Structure 1
Amino acid sequence: MSTGNLKAILSEFDIPQRDYELEQVKYGLINKSYNVVEKSSNKKCYFLQQVDHNAFKDIEGIMHNIGIVTNHFKSQPDAPEHLKTQETISGANYYKSTAGEYWRLYNYIEGHTYYRAENIQLATEAGKMFGQFQNALDGIDITFLRDTIPGFHDMDMRYEQFLESISGATNARKEKAAALIELVKEKINYVKSIWHDTISTCPPRVTHNDTKLSNLLFDDNNHGICVVDYDTLMPGFLPLDFGDSVRTICSTTVEDDTNLKDTFFDISLFKALVTSFIAALEESITGPEIKMLPRTSAYMPFIMGLRMLTDYLNNDIYYTIQYDQHNFDRAANQMTLFMSGVELLDEMNNIVKEIN
C-alpha cells in the first residue's frame, strides 16, 4: 500500500495531526504492521495494523474482545503494562475502510522480542509475564467475550480439517508429507485424550491463546515489559496457554528450523518457566490445571504442527510463507518437538509435583 493511502488511513484515528512516516514491520505471520514515526522528533508513536480478514473471520468480535479486556485493565490500578487501542474519530477502536479493510492503531511500546529462549532468565521472566497477564484477565465475565475462532484448539475439529486437506492435496505434497501424515494418524487418539481431559477437568477462562515467546516485549536488560498480540483473546483453557508458551520457550530451535536432530525440549527451561508461571498465578490456578501442564506441553506442538501440515496440504492458504516448503518445515519441527515432549513427560510431571 502506498504511503499516501496509509496516511489517509491514519487520519481516521483521533490522534494529534502531525507529519508522520510509516515503516513496515516485517515480523508476524498474518497481519500487516507499521510503526508510525513522528518526523520532527524521529520518535515512534503508534503501531498501525491491517487485520487480515481472510485469516480472521470475525474482526468485529476480535475488536469487541480487545475492548473488553483493555477496559478491564484500565480499571485495575496494578494491571500490567498492556497495549492500548487508539479510538477513531467516530469513537470506535478500529476503522473499516470503504474497501472493506480493517485497521487498528495501538500505542507504541519500545522493546524487543525473541523467537526462542536463550537462557534461564528469559524463561523465568516469560513464565512470570504470562502468569501475571492471566491473573490480570481474571475478574472478566467470560460470557462478555465472543468465541471469535470456534474450535481454535479443538483437536477433534482440527483433525477433521486435516483429513479434508489430504483429500484435496496434490500428489506431490501428499508424497512429501507422507511420514508426517502417518505420524498424525498414529498419535491422534493419544492427543485427543489430552484435549478431552483438559476441557473436562479445567475451568474455562478468558485466555490469550497465542502465548508464543515472540508475543512478549523485553527491555534492554531482558526484563519483561508486556504481553502483545490480542487477536486471540477469547474463552479458553489455562493449561493450553501454558503449553503454547512451552512450545517456543523451551524448544532448542525456532519453529521452522530444519535441523530436526537438534530439536527437543530443554527441560531446564521448562523447569524455570513452569516455576515462575505457577508462582505468578498464586492461588488462582487450580489443582486440575496444574496437573495438565506437562501434558498440554506436548499437546500444543502437536496441534500447531497439525495446523501447519494442514495448511501445507491446502497449498498454503493461511500462514504467510517465505518459501514453497515453509509450512512443511514448520510442521516437521513441531512434530519433532511433540515427540520430545512425550519422551520427557514423566520428568515434567515430577518437576510440577515438586513445585506444587
Structure 2
Amino acid sequence: MIGDKEIRTIAGSFQAQGRCIDCMPYGHGHIHQTYLARFQTDHGVRDYILQQINSAVFRDPPAMMENILLVTSHIRQKLEAIGCQDIARQVLTVVPDATGMPYYLDERGRFWRMYVFVEDSMAVEMPQDCRQVYQAAMAFGRFDAVLADLPAARLHQTIPAFHDGRARLSQLMEVLRSDPLNRAIQAKPEIDFILGHSRILLEPSELLNAGAIRPQATHNDTKVNNVLLDRKTGQGLCVIDLDTVMEGVWLYDLGDILRTTCSVAAEDEQDLTKVQICMDRYKAAVKGFIEGSQGRIGPDQYRYISLSGQFMALIMATRFLTDFIAGDRYFKISRPSQNLDRCRCQCRLVASMLQQAEQIDAVIASAV
C-alpha cells in the first residue's frame, strides 16, 4: 500500500503546475492504479490524473508511452488544422516528469505517468440512455477516422495478439490443461459454449487475411467509460485509455462499444435474465460509430457489423474465463468468481445476439 506522503512525492516528480496537496484513488479501472492528484497554484487548484502503470500487463511501459505521444500528437495536429479552440479538452495531454520523459520511474522500479485532468467532463460506467450510447460511439468512430492516416506500423504492439481469436483460444486451452486451482469444473457450461462457438473467434482474422477489411490504428478497448462526455452538453468529448492503441480493424472498436452498451446489465451481473440486448441502444451505437467514421466504413463493410459485436463479446468471455481458471491474475476482482460471472454475461450476450440475428440485421439496416 502506498502512503500519502509517498504518492504526493511521486506526483511532485512530474512537471505539473504548483505543489501537490492531495492524491486520492480515482475511477474503476481494471488494470492500473489511478489517482486524482490536486496541485495548488497561484490561480487556484489544478487537477491531474496520476497512474501507476501495471507493468505485469504492459511489459514495456516506455513503448506504450511512445505510442500515446504519437497518437495524441497526431490528433492534436488534426485539431489545430481545423482551428479547434478547445484542444485541451478533446485530446489527452501527457505531463512529462522532471527530466522530460513521458513517464516517471521510481526507486522501486515502478512506472508512473500523468495527464492533465479534462475539466467539466464525465465518464459513465453504464450509459443512462441512447443519447450517451450514440455520443460515445460517435467519439470512437471519429477517433478511428482521425487515425486512419497514421501508419499503424509505427505503433508498438503493447499487448501482442490482443484481439487474436486463435491466440486467445490457445491460451484458454493451455490453462484448462493445467487447471492450477481446479476451477474448470465450475465453468463447464461456459467452456462448452466458447468452444462450440469458436468459429466466431476466427472470422475477423480470416477477413483481414482475405483483404475484406483493412488494418489501421485502432483503440482496441472501446468501453463506454473510455470516452469523456461534456458535463454540460453530454457530447462525446475526448477518448481516453490509449494503452492499447495499435494496429487493428474497425470491427474491434465497433464491436466493443456494442458489447458494452447494448445491454442494460452490468458486465458482472449475476442474474443472467437481465442480460438482454436493447435494440434501441444497439441502433444508437451503430449509427454513432458509422457517422463518426466519416465515410471510412462503406456499405460493402456493413455486412460485418453484427459479427463485430459477437466477436468482441466472445473474445472477452474467453479472456475472463482464462483469467478465472488461472487464478484472477489479469482483471481486478472485488469478490470471488467475479471473472466467471463476467464470462457468463458475455456468453449470454453472444447467445442473445445469435438468437436475435434477424432483428439485429433489420436494426443495422435502419441505422446505416
The TM-score bracket by the shorter chain reads: over 0.9
Secondary structure at the residue paired with 1:75? helix
Report if aligned partners of 2:181, 2:325 keep a CA contact under 8 Å in 1. no
Match of 2:191 in 1: 181
User: Is 1:196 aligned to 2:206, yes or no?
Assistant: yes
Report if aligned partners of 1:295, 1:345 keep a CA contact under 8 Å in 2. no
2:280 to 268, 273, 291: 268
Match of 1:223 in 2: 235
Report if aligned partners of 2:39, 2:47 keep a CA contact under 8 Å in 1. yes
> Are residues 195 and 267 of structure 1, via their aligned partners in 2, closer, same or farther at CA, if it must alter by over 3 Å?
farther
What is the alpha-carbon distance in structure 2 between the residues aligned to residue 208 and residue 171 of structure 1? Answer: 34
What is the alpha-carbon distance in structure 1 between the residues aligned to residue 168 and residue 201 of structure 2? Answer: 12
Residue pairs, 1:14-33, within 5 angstroms:
14-33=15-34
User: Is 1:113 aligned to 2:115, yes or no?
Assistant: no
Secondary structure at the residue paired with 2:114? strand
Where in structure 1 are there 5+ consecutive unaligned residues? none
What is the alpha-carbon distance in structure 2 between the residues aligned to residue 271 and residue 82 of structure 1? Answer: 27
Match of 1:54 in 2: 56
Match of 2:93 in 1: 84
CA deviation vs aligned residue, 1:158-193 (integer Å, no higher than 9, x gap): 000000111122574111111111111211124323
Q: CA deviation at 1:287?
A: 4.1
State, as a whole percentage, how many aligned pairs show the same letter.
26
Larger CA deviation: 168-177 vs 53-62: 168-177
Report if aligned partners of 2:200, 2:310 keep a CA contact under 8 Å in 1. no
TM-score where L is the length of structure 2: 0.91
Structure 1 counterpart of 2:360, one-letter code: M
Larger CA deviation: 172-181 vs 157-166: 172-181
CA deviation vs aligned residue, 1:202-236 (integer Å, no higher than 9, x gap): 11111111000111122144222211111111111
Residue pairs, 1:1-356, within 5 angstroms:
1-39=2-40, 43-76=45-78, 77=80, 78=82, 81-110=90-119, 111-170=121-180, 172-198=182-208, 200=210, 201-218=212-229, 219-356=231-368
Secondary structure at the residue paired with 1:15? coil
Q: CA deviation at 1:42?
A: 7.1
What is the alpha-carbon distance in structure 2 between the residues aligned to residue 242 and residue 181 of structure 1? Answer: 25
Q: CA deviation at 1:43?
A: 3.4
Secondary structure at the residue paired with 2:126? coil
Structure 1 counterpart of 2:54, one-letter code: D
Q: CA deviation at 1:22?
A: 0.6
Report if aligned partners of 1:217, 1:224 keep a CA contact under 8 Å in 2. yes
For these two proteins, the number of residue pairs brought into alignment is 356
What is the alpha-carbon distance in structure 2 between the residues aligned to residue 265 and residue 26 of structure 1? Answer: 26
Secondary structure at the residue paired with 1:177? helix
What is the alpha-carbon distance in structure 2 between the residues aligned to residue 30 and residue 18 of structure 1? Answer: 28
> Are residues 346 and 61 of structure 1, via their aligned partners in 2, closer, same or farther at CA, if it must alter by over 3 Å?
farther
> Are residues 32 and 104 of structure 1, via their aligned partners in 2, closer, same or farther at CA, if it must alter by over 3 Å?
same
Report if aligned partners of 2:220, 2:246 keep a CA contact under 8 Å in 1. yes
Larger CA deviation: 125-134 vs 342-351: 342-351
Report if aligned partners of 2:208, 2:215 keep a CA contact under 8 Å in 1. no
TM-score where L is the length of structure 1: 0.94
Q: CA deviation at 1:136?
A: 1.9
Larger CA deviation: 240-249 vs 92-101: 92-101
Q: CA deviation at 1:345?
A: 2.5
What is the alpha-carbon distance in structure 2 between the residues aligned to residue 250 and residue 297 of structure 1? Answer: 9
Larger CA deviation: 341-350 vs 86-95: 341-350
What is the alpha-carbon distance in structure 2 between the residues aligned to residue 146 and residue 288 of structure 1? Answer: 30
What is the alpha-carbon distance in structure 1 between the residues aligned to residue 13 and residue 158 of structure 2? Answer: 25
> Are residues 317 and 288 of structure 1, via their aligned partners in 2, closer, same or farther at CA, if it must alter by over 3 Å?
farther
What is the alpha-carbon distance in structure 2 between the residues aligned to residue 228 and residue 355 of structure 1? Answer: 26
Q: CA deviation at 1:195?
A: 4.2
> Are residues 61 and 88 of structure 1, via their aligned partners in 2, closer, same or farther at CA, if it must alter by over 3 Å?
same
Q: CA deviation at 1:82?
A: 1.4
Report if aligned partners of 2:34, 2:51 keep a CA contact under 8 Å in 1. yes
Secondary structure at the residue paired with 1:276? helix
Structure 1 counterpart of 2:322, one-letter code: T
Q: CA deviation at 1:12?
A: 2.0
Q: CA deviation at 1:310?
A: 0.4
Structure 2 counterpart of 1:132, one-letter code: R
